[in-house]
Amino acid sequence: MSEQAAKSRYSICTICDIGCQLRPVTKDGKLIAMKAHDNPALARNVCYKGISAPHIHNHNERLLKPLKRVGERGEDKWEEITYEQAMDEIAARLQTLVDKHGPETLAVSTSGWNTQSTHAMDRRFMNALGTPNYISGVSLCAGNTAAVNKLTYGWFPFADMSNSKCIVLFGHNPRKHSWTPIYNMINAAKANGAKVIVLDPRVSEQAETANMHLRLRAGTDAAMCLGWLNVIINEELYDKDFVDEYTTGFTELSERVNEYPLSRVAEITGVPAEQIAEAARLYATAESACIPWTPITDMQISSTSAIRLHSILRALTGNLDVPGGELLEGFNPNYISESVLGNHGMLTSQQKAKQLGADAHPVYTYRAQEKLLDATERTWGQRYSDIVMGSYMANPSAVFRAMATEAPYPVKAFFALGNNSLLSYPNQHQILKGLLNQELIVAQEIFMTPTAMLADYVVPGDVFSERNHISDMWSWRSSLTLSEKVVEPPAEACSTFEFWHDLAHRMGFGNLFPWDSIEAMLDYRLSPSGMTFAEFADKQYMQVSNPEYRKYRKTGFGTPSGKVELKSSILEELGFDPLPYYREGPAVDADYPYHVFTGVREDAFFQTGQRQVKVLRDRSPTPKLFMHPTDAARQEIEDNQWVKLETRTGEVVAKVLIQESMKKGHVRVPHGWWYPELRGSADLAGAFLSSDAVLCPDAPEDLDREQGIPHFKGFPGRIVKLSAPPAGMSEQVLAG
Ligand SMILES: Nc1nc2c(c(=O)[nH]1)N[C@H]1C(S)=C(S)[C@@H](COP(=O)(O)OP(=O)(O)OC[C@H]3O[C@@H](n4cnc5c(=O)[nH]c(N)nc54)[C@H](O)[C@@H]3O)O[C@H]1N2
Ligand SMILES: Nc1nc2c(c(=O)[nH]1)N[C@H]1C(S)=C(S)[C@@H](COP(=O)(O)OP(=O)(O)OC[C@H]3O[C@@H](n4cnc5c(=O)[nH]c(N)nc54)[C@H](O)[C@@H]3O)O[C@H]1N2
Ligand code: SF4
Ligand SMILES: [Mo]
């Protein structure tokens, strides 16, 4: 068959977490190119990380064989062993620790994005073993938003951006090379006349073309939302019928909102009152409007309130489950959900009660989320709703503290799968202490990372072109998208499915993992549809059902009251303020005068990854701090000057990029920087030199109350000029 006549194959790119379906091209058993989809609607733009997949998958530093530590922990000295030996030893050592300390001694950190369908496998293994201590980067990104949204209306909606008449972006800044499909949706809506409102301290790419741009101070999003509600309620711009019939707590909410007159909100946010009112009116009176999920409110000291406020705005303006608004899609009836596969029912309530952090910060833990079980079953037909992997998680800060201090009990085994944990949570020094105090660390990875360097065993992972998968976007959406395996994994690289399967079989509960391949597991997951994986793969690259709107008219909302809980009964029961409020983050002062925020994702990389991939690193060789020209001039700092950014928690080095688009008094620090090229010359490949995680504290008082979220958006910091570049940096970094 000629190349043209051959049926196209499709794989979902997992280099970032938005999961574009692309068309892989192979030759002689190797991935040689990633091309745009054949369907023009899915091929409007493709980002250069996706196109670079062959450079990642075939990289000469890719891990191919299991490694066993031979030096001191973190010394980066290894012997190659077989996969069988690695799994045998991991199983035996884990069993010894479980016998000594109980199963809760194992904590697991995953991303789940890049390892695909295996979140359910992580949880299934953990639930069978008996440990509740699962953590993930989604505690700072979408997972926690999902958990908080559920408190208000029982599900996590997906914004129907393409059909919307008004899109509100709280910081969220999709671009051609950052979350390309969302960027495409926003552009489609704009072409259809949608208005865009951006709330961002910086003039971001989305802000440049927005209809309105409110340049709020970092970390004040909750106050801004309270201001919007003040306008919407007092000017009676809300949907009265919806409020009367489908909500609880409107009177109390109105009273709370009146504590935030626009003069107060203007003072907190730094945005003029009239602009706040105008934006609120534009949003509330649009024919349809959405506030797409944003990570910005996932990382603030008022995170729970800010996320709840977005939910409340959606509800009051009548935008829930309507075209152009926010779709509550529910589980796909043709696909076994991760919640069912993960089987949280297996974990006893005694073990659930040991989930770390649940006492102080319960919102995304079992303690709060299990209060929704009856309501979830009534509304969505299943008891557990593990959307975007973010419900039923332990609190990462509590887990790393327990790993370091052995209080409230010893956590002595830590597994990181497709997650560079050391750099991916707040308070990196505490994480290191925790890791150094472990008796067993396992990393399942495609590259040697600072986290993997601290492991006892490094198991080589496979990548998306090497495994089959069907995505329902972690139960966020109900469409099913195909991802086909097009090449064999190299050497002994394994999937996380195999990892958990093989470990369970060694630890005596293999009966709970009866599938002998990913395909067999996918056959099971597709069983309600009557299709096998092979049939699905043969017939369709995507299965999308027509949305059914306003389902709540039939089912009610999946909350204890069956209504949208403007005043949250679950927060009240847990002893928290049931109404949203604004809490100020730590204040800037003469010593630490800048509001520092992390974010503005790098086009060239996903999070902490790809710094060793030349075609990508060449685009962004050096970590950059953004500063406003006025601030730079005051400190006599020039463009490209090396500086030290100090907070009360730690310090990092980076180069300054002076930008008019920055907000005065604000500094942007990038996330995820380490230096693979310094492996062997700097400790942990320079993991402490330029990582934002070093800067952000996570003592209980530094965290959002309800969820225990760190304040990555607007912590106080200062900048010290360096007279010479930091010692030991590579030529590439110095030149960049
Ligand atoms: N300090 C701090 N922490 C943060 C954030 C922040 O801004 N600052 N951001 C948060 C956000 S928004 C998110 S989404 C999370 C992200 O958290 P994660 O998605 O876990 O991202 P990383 O920690 O960069 O880890 C990804 C690792 O997976 C490896 N990898 C890539 N592809 C594959 C694969 O196919 N198989 C396997 N086995 N491994 C693979 C990469 O080499 C990399 O080391 O982090 C959160 N944590
Ligand atoms: N190329 C690339 N694309 C990515 C990723 C990547 O690593 N690389 N990561 C993906 C992931 S996991 C995520 S979560 C997204 C994140 O991507 P976005 O949602 O776009 O978030 P950021 O890039 O972190 O920051 C966006 C904006 O938030 C503004 N901002 C900072 N602090 C505040 C604040 O307190 N309030 C408000 N309202 N705005 C503020 C910043 O000025 C910035 O312009 O990107 C995704 N896309
Ligand atoms: S935006 Fe780029 S990196 Fe992310 S999934 Fe799509 S192609 Fe891959
Ligand atoms: Mo994220």
Report whether residue 295 contacts ligand 1, using a CB cutoff of 6 Å. Answer: yes
Q: Which of 270, 266, 145, 291 is nearest to 201 (CA)?
A: 270
Question: Can you give the pTM of this predicted structure?
Answer: 0.97
Please state the atom number of ligand 1 nearest to the C-alpha of residue 608.
24
DSSP-derived 3-state class of residue 721: strand
99 CA → ligand 3 middle, Å: 43
Over range 680-685, report the average pLDDT.
94
pLDDT over 90 for what percent of the chain? 93
* Among 64, 607, 679, 712, residue to substitute to test ligand 1 (most atoms within 8 Å of Cβ): 607
Please state the atom number of ligand 1 nearest to the C-alpha of residue 598.
7
> Which ligand places an atom closest to the C-alpha of 19?
3
48 CA → ligand 1 middle, Å: 18
Q: Which of 107, 73, 60 is nearest to 684 (CA)?
A: 73
CATH 3.40.50.410 fits 594-735, yes or no: no
DSSP-derived 3-state class of residue 457: strand
Report whether residue 428 contacts ligand 1, using a CB cutoff of 6 Å. Answer: no
For the residues of 175-212, what is the DSSP string, one character each?
BTTBSHHHHHHHHHHHHTT-EEEEE-SS--HHHHT-SE
Longest distance between any two alpha carbons in the chain, whole Å:
72
pLDDT over 70 for what percent of the chain? 99
Q: How many CB atoms lie within 10 A of CB 620?
A: 17
Residue owning tokens 């050391």: 422
Q: What is the C-alpha radius of gyration for the chain, rounded to an integer number of angstroms?
A: 24
Instruction: Report pLDDT for 111.
Output: 82
Model pLDDT for residues 315-336, shown as the tens digit of each residue: 999 999 999 999 999 999 999 9
Is 618 part of the annotated catalytic residue set?
Answer: no
Instruction: Report pLDDT for 565.
Output: 98
CATH 3.40.228.10 fits 158-327+549-573, yes or no: yes
- Report residue 372 as tokens: 């929704």
DSSP-derived 3-state class of residue 724: coil
Q: Which of 167, 118, 454 is nearest to 291 (CA)?
A: 167
Model pLDDT for residues 96-109, shown as the tens digit of each residue: 999 999 999 999 99
Report whether residue 180 contacts ligand 3, using a CB cutoff of 6 Å. Answer: yes
- Report residue 427 as tokens: 């308070």
Name which residue sits closest to atom 42 of ligand 2, judged by CA. 202
For the residues of 229-278, what is the DSSP string, one character each?
HHHHHHTT-S-HHHHHHHEE-HHHHHHHHTTS-HHHHHHHH-S-HHHHHH
> CB–CB of 513/496 below 8 Å?
no
Instruction: Report pLDDT for 75.
Output: 97
> CB–CB of 239/550 below 8 Å?
no
170 CA → ligand 3 middle, Å: 22
Domains 67-144+330-543 and 594-735 share a fold: no
Terminal alpha carbon distance of the chain: 47
Using CB distances shorter than 6 Å, the residues near ligand 2 are 16-17, 141, 170-173, 177-179, 199-202, 204, 216, 218-219, 221, 294-296, 597, 599-603, 605-607, 713-714
> CB–CB of 462/495 below 8 Å?
yes
Q: Is the pLDDT of residue 567 over 90?
A: yes
| Plot region of 599 (φ>0 → left; ψ -120 to 50 → alpha; else → beta) | left
341 CA → ligand 2 middle, Å: 31
Please state the atom number of ligand 2 nearest to the C-alpha of residue 141.
14
Domain boundaries, the chain: 67-144+330-543, 158-327+549-573, 594-735
Contacts of 246 (CB under 8 A, 6+ apart): 315, 552, 557, 563, 564
| Plot region of 157 (φ>0 → left; ψ -120 to 50 → alpha; else → beta) | beta
Q: What single-letter DSSP state applies at residue 486?
A: -
Model pLDDT for residues 348-380, shown as the tens digit of each residue: 999 999 999 999 999 999 999 999 999 999 999
DSSP-derived 3-state class of residue 483: strand
Model pLDDT for residues 212-253, shown as the tens digit of each residue: 999 999 999 999 999 999 999 999 999 999 999 999 999 999
> CB–CB of 669/596 below 8 Å?
yes
CATH of span 67-144+330-543: 3.40.50.740
The H-or-E segment that residue 124 falls in is helix 119-129
Report whether residue 19 contacts ligand 3, using a CB cutoff of 6 Å. Answer: yes
Helix axes 396-405, 428-436, angle to 10 degrees: 40
392 CA → ligand 4 middle, Å: 18
Instruction: Report pLDDT for 409.
Output: 98
Please state the atom number of ligand 3 nearest to the C-alpha of residue 606.
3
Please state the atom number of ligand 1 nearest to the C-alpha of residue 298.
12
Model pLDDT for residues 649-682, shown as the tens digit of each residue: 999 999 999 999 999 999 999 999 999 999 999 9
Instruction: Report pLDDT for 694.
Output: 98
174 CA → ligand 2 middle, Å: 8
Report whether residue 410 contacts ligand 3, using a CB cutoff of 6 Å. Answer: no
Helix runs in 258-354, H state only: 262-269, 273-285, 303-316, 338-342, 349-352
